[in-house]
Amino acid sequence: MVAVGNLEQNTAVPDALSKHNRLVRYGRWAFEVGVLALLAVVAVVQGGDILSKWHGPASSLTNELYIPAAAMAAGMGFVNIVPESVPGFRQFLDFQQQTIDPALLKKEGKEQPLHSYQEYHRYLITAVGWVWSLFGVSWDSMKILIVMLFAICLWEVYGISRLAMGVAASLVVALGFACTDTVMVALALLRDFSKAPFILGAILLLGWVVRR
């Protein structure tokens, strides 16, 4: 009986330690998820503030870059449309009105050959087209995409920092990144800022591979 009791005690100790380790591990994961959620909130608040006085994504290119995205949302596919063929479309592209009815694009839109810069930015335009298909063809809907990209960037900066630092220090680095002047300026320029998640993602992946 004594031997059996000792055996049960010896078995119970590792089980208790294993359960404790699992709880600690789950707690750490939950805390990391909480940090990522906090960074997402920062992206929404900071991004919304920066984009509150936004004047469109054109940067060095015209907003006509995104005509195929509007055509996608209208169910026309990745095509170019003559802006003047649709009432109000030129005003939309010139940022003089915030929305355009996709049904009007499909009904009145006259197709024309794609411009070379539209072909070159096909993936970006397609992403905008998906967002506009879900939320409507408006510049406010495009802000959703920009904020999403911003959140991804913050997560990636945090992940890169976590390869070498603790949670608190990594959070400080990510918050510092969110507040830099360069990011604040680039955030409003979708064509340029859209490259950032891919660059940071590549750095994160390379860092993870090297560390392993």
DSSP string, 34-60: HHHHHHHHHHHHHHHHHGGG---S-TT
* Over residues 57-86, mean pLDDT: 90
Confidence of residue 193 (pLDDT cuts 50, 70, 90): very high
Q: Give 109's DSSP letter.
A: P
CB 151 within 8 A of CB 40: yes
Look at the block and give the residue holding tokens 């890169």: 160
pLDDT bucket at 7, cuts 50 / 70 / 90: very low
How far apart, in whole angstroms, are the C-alpha atoms of residue 32 and residue 27?
Answer: 9
Rounded CA-CA distance 167/44 in Å is 21
> In the chain, what percentage of residues exceed pLDDT 70?
87
pLDDT higher than threshold 60 for residue 67 = yes
Q: How confident is the model at residue 184 (pLDDT cuts 50, 70, 90)?
A: confident
Residue for token pair 């208790």: 16
The CA–CA distances, whole Å, from 166 to 31, 112, 171, 174, 210 equal: 12, 54, 9, 12, 18
**Model confidence, pTM:** 0.84
Q: What pLDDT score does 23 carry?
A: 62
Q: What is the pLDDT of residue 31?
A: 85
* pLDDT for position 15: 61
Using pLDDT thresholds of 50, 70 and 90, give the confidence band for residue 139: very high
Q: What local confidence, expressed as pLDDT, does residue 14 receive?
A: 62
Dihedral (Cα; 48, 49, 51, 54), 10-degree rounding: 150
State yes or no: pLDDT of 27 exceeds 50: yes
Instruction: Summarize pLDDT for 82-137 with one digit per residue, the tens.
Output: 999 999 999 999 989 999 999 999 999 999 999 999 999 999 999 999 999 999 99
Contacts of 61 (CB under 8 A, 6+ apart): 117, 191
Residue 30 DSSP one-character state = H
